[in-house]
A = this chain, B = another copy of it.
Amino acid sequence: MKKLINDPQRVVPESLRGFGLAHPEHVVVHEDPLFVSRAGGAVKGKVGLVSGGGSGHEPLHAGYVGAGMLDAAVPGAMFTSPTPEPILEATKAADGGAGVLHIVKNYTGDVLNFETAAELAEAEDITVKAVVVNDDVAVEDSLYTAGRRGVAGTVLVEKIAGAAAERGDDLDAVVAVAEKVIKNVRSMGVALTACTVPHAGKPSFDLADDEIEIGIGIHGEPGRHKIAMAGADEITERLLEPVLEDLKIGSGEKVLLFVNGMGGTPLSELYLVYNHAHDVLAGKGLEVTRSLVGNYITSLEMQGASITVLRLDEELTQLWDAPVNTPALRRGV
């Protein structure tokens, strides 16, 4: 394991301290408990947005704190959901009096810790609602299981719900927008290599030189199955097909196409995947009207990518286009 770190136990706080020093105009990094809030504090009268989860997915979530997106983010230990206390403090910091939305990725740990924090916040008279993102079609959904994971779709939920809050929607309306995104977004990912969590010191799974993992999540967990290494076009199709099928999307609809890197894949390869994904969508009569390509939700240095499709309507398109001013996503400001 070679990493640009000092002590494996101090990666998260040292990195966040640097993040705070690099972006004083966007964020304040609180050290104990550890969370990140907007510079300038909560916006009076605006619904506050809080997200969080294990670290190792940078720039998610702290990179999305700022005008038009999150009000606070709670980074846990590496790949480990944060505890209720920092979530509570982040919730307080995000509360401008109009209530707070928790954007939670669907993992048992995230759900449980955010639930507890919400209870604690309610006890302090803050109205909290939560939405749970579960866009990963690699995992079969069922009433009887933990359900689908939340993966790259989370970035789109944060951006679009953030824009809704910024335009003045009340808490229920922001929840409705977030739910609409969740209902219309699906993702699937592939890993060419595993990643190494600093405290583990070993790759998260073993993969031969001629194998790839299809259906991986964002925690270095193994995927649904290994397949033989294939060309980018073929891999793209294998990711895209279940996404489109699950979305039940048809000719004539408009979509946002998001090709996300897992952290260790060159941008050129992401664009190469985008190239073919765009053609596949066009071939099915879908219109790609918005795009996002880059490392927006990662698994440390894992090589791989995920493809996310969001069905767009007029409202979601407008909210996607709305100004946003965060360290990792910026437009219009």
Interface residues of A in 250-284 (CB under 8 A from B): 257, 263-276, 278
Q: A40: CB under 8 A from chain B?
A: no
**Which among A233, A267, A303, A332 has the greatest number of chain B C-beta atoms within 10 A?**
A267
Partner of A268, one of B22, B55, B293: B55
State the Cβ distance, A77 to closest chain B Cβ, in Å.
12
Q: A134: CB under 8 A from chain B?
A: no
CB pair A272–B59 under 8 Å, yes or no, is: no
Q: A107: CB under 8 A from chain B?
A: no
Stretch at the interface among A10-18, A110-118, A164-172: A10-18
Which residues of B lie under 8 Å from residue A330 when comparing CB positions? Answer: 330-331
State the Cβ distance, A80 to closest chain B Cβ, in Å.
14
Which residues of B lie under 8 Å from residue A265 when comparing CB positions? Answer: 4, 301
Which residues of B lie under 8 Å from residue A291 when comparing CB positions? Answer: 21-23
**Which among A193, A212, A265, A301 has the greatest number of chain B C-beta atoms within 10 A?**
A301
- Tell me whether A274 and B231 are in contact in the complex, defined as CB-CB below 8 angstroms, given that A268-B56, A305-B4 are known contacts: no
State the Cβ distance, A229 to closest chain B Cβ, in Å.
6
Task: Select from chain B the residue with minimum beta-carbon distance to A298.
Answer: B266
Q: A58: CB under 8 A from chain B?
A: yes
Q: Total interface residues on A, using CB and 8 Å?
A: 61
Bound-state Cα–Cα, A275 to B6, Å: 12
State the Cβ distance, A219 to closest chain B Cβ, in Å.
14
Which residues of B lie under 8 Å from residue A22 when comparing CB positions? Answer: 257, 271, 274, 278, 291, 293
Partner of A266, one of B63, B193, B263, B293: B263
Q: A175: CB under 8 A from chain B?
A: no
CB pair A4–B272 under 8 Å, yes or no, is: yes
**Which among A272, A273, A278 has the greatest number of chain B C-beta atoms within 10 A?**
A272
- Tell me whether A267 and B4 are in contact in the complex, defined as CB-CB below 8 angstroms, given that A14-B275, A22-B293 are known contacts: no
Q: Can you list 12 A-B pairs with a CB-CB distance of less than 8 A?
A: A4-B192, A4-B272, A5-B269, A6-B232, A12-B268, A14-B272, A14-B275, A15-B271, A22-B278, A58-B267, A267-B295, A268-B300
9 other A-B residue contacts (CB within 8 Å) besides A4-B232, A56-B268, A263-B264: A5-B272, A15-B272, A18-B273, A21-B278, A22-B257, A22-B271, A22-B278, A58-B268, A267-B295
